[in-house]
Amino acid sequence: MKAARLHAYEFQGWHPRPGDRPLVTEEVPEPQLMGHHDVIVRIAGAGLCRTDLHIIEGIWKDITQRTLPYTLGHENAGYVEDVGDAVTMVQRGDAVICHPLASCGYCEACRRGEDMYCTASYFPGLSADGGFAEYLRTSDRAMVKLAEGIDPIELAPYADAGITAYRAAKKAARVLRPGDWAAVIGVGGLGHIGLQCLHVLSPASVIAVDASESARELARTLGAEAVVSGSERVEEVKEKTGGGCQVVMDFVGELGAEAHSIQMLRQGGTHIVIGYGGTTRVPTIDIIFSEIAIVGSLVGNYTDLSELMKLNEQGRVRLHARRYPLDEINQAISDLDQRKISGRGVLVPA
């Protein structure tokens, strides 16, 4: 089958230049069933994520300790092709979206429904071969069956970008009340979903912050109650929200946003960290005086994905995606790096 594989790291700070082919699309053997609960998925669409760029750079090298070459792609959706002998929950032909982690189901975390903390899992596209290919091997624990009539292709980015935004919005919603303001810093692939989830899950008004005019336009279309043109405009945010935000969801996490986010908070406010790259620095006296909370959010669990699929079915959350054929993956990577993709890029193998 065809797969887009990484043969060499380009190292930290790397950006694709014209002619670069960081991933090689080549013929590889199809994945085989190896365990009782394995599932082979025929990929309909696979989302391209900023984390893929970071993997190519080499930032994740020491964490994943993968031997090269291997296939990237951790936002996967498609059709069940084959199943292991103990699989009962899906069968050949089912349309599915894949939770990114293949978890064990038996550790303490799995038994609490906190799949992301599984102590015996693998992560296709990160620690194992992923979905930039015609077929993917994962576990039946990752399968979320799609409702009748739902096309898997353009859903793929929900598998990671979607649940990451959704889980963070759930954390936000727990503390938001009528009259409150929640800021969405960065209205990109994740942020535009987070904004919609906030409106569905909470009664708060949303102030969207992004330096890009097209991102702000998207935010307005999606119903943001206020829009600001950059995270450094802390005073403007404070003014528009009557004194600061009860929640700031930071989808950027670097380039200053991680500091501005905290400055935008009202006393007792919550800063939810989703984007990464920078460093949070706060004097302990400020943490206490403002009695703020700085809360990380890590992807999402199976239940998060399955709830998000219900919102998608109901038309209450919509994903903006752009398709690329699998063998144009290096173009897609370049476009993502240059922020030319509005919403999310999806690779289509067929």
Q: Where along the sequence are the contacts to a second copy (CB under 8 A)?
A: 36-37, 85-86, 88-89, 105-106, 108, 111-114, 116-117, 140-141, 177-179, 200-203, 205, 250, 253-254, 258, 267-268, 273-285, 287-298, 302-303, 306-308, 310-311, 314, 316
Cα angle, residue 236 at apex, residues 216 and 295 outer, rounded to 5°? 75
- CB of 229 or CB of 290, closer to a second copy: 290
- CB of 213 or CB of 286, closer to a second copy: 286
Q: How far apart are CA 6 and CA 9, in angstroms?
A: 8
CA distances for 215 relative to 156, 165, 224, 229, 235, angstroms: 21, 16, 11, 10, 21
- CB of 29 or CB of 149, closer to a second copy: 149
**Nearest approach, Cβ of residue 102 and a second copy (Å):** 14
**Nearest approach, Cβ of residue 325 and a second copy (Å):** 32
Beta strands 135-139 and 38-48, pairing class: antiparallel
Q: How far apart are CA 258 and CA 275, in angstroms?
A: 9
DSSP label of 14: -
- CB of 44 or CB of 272, closer to a second copy: 272
**Nearest approach, Cβ of residue 51 and a second copy (Å):** 11
**Nearest approach, Cβ of residue 197 and a second copy (Å):** 9
Q: Give the DSSP per-residue string, 291-324.
A: T-EEEE--S--HHHHHHHHHHHHTTSS---EEEE
- CB of 13 or CB of 178, closer to a second copy: 178
Query: Which amino acid, residue 302?
Result: Y
- CB of 21 or CB of 36, closer to a second copy: 36
- CB of 8 or CB of 86, closer to a second copy: 86
Q: How far apart are CA 271 and CA 258, in angstroms?
A: 9
**Nearest approach, Cβ of residue 27 and a second copy (Å):** 33
**Which of 282, 281, 186 is CA-nearest to residue 227?**
186
Q: Give the residues across from 24 on adjacent strands.
A: 5
**Nearest approach, Cβ of residue 163 and a second copy (Å):** 12
- CB of 116 or CB of 207, closer to a second copy: 116
Whether residue 185 contacts residue 266, with contact meaning beta carbons closer than 8 Å, is answered with: no
Beta strands 95-98 and 38-48, pairing class: unpaired
**Nearest approach, Cβ of residue 176 and a second copy (Å):** 10
The crossing angle, in degrees rounded to 10, of helices 191-201 and 213-221 is: 20
**Nearest approach, Cβ of residue 216 and a second copy (Å):** 21
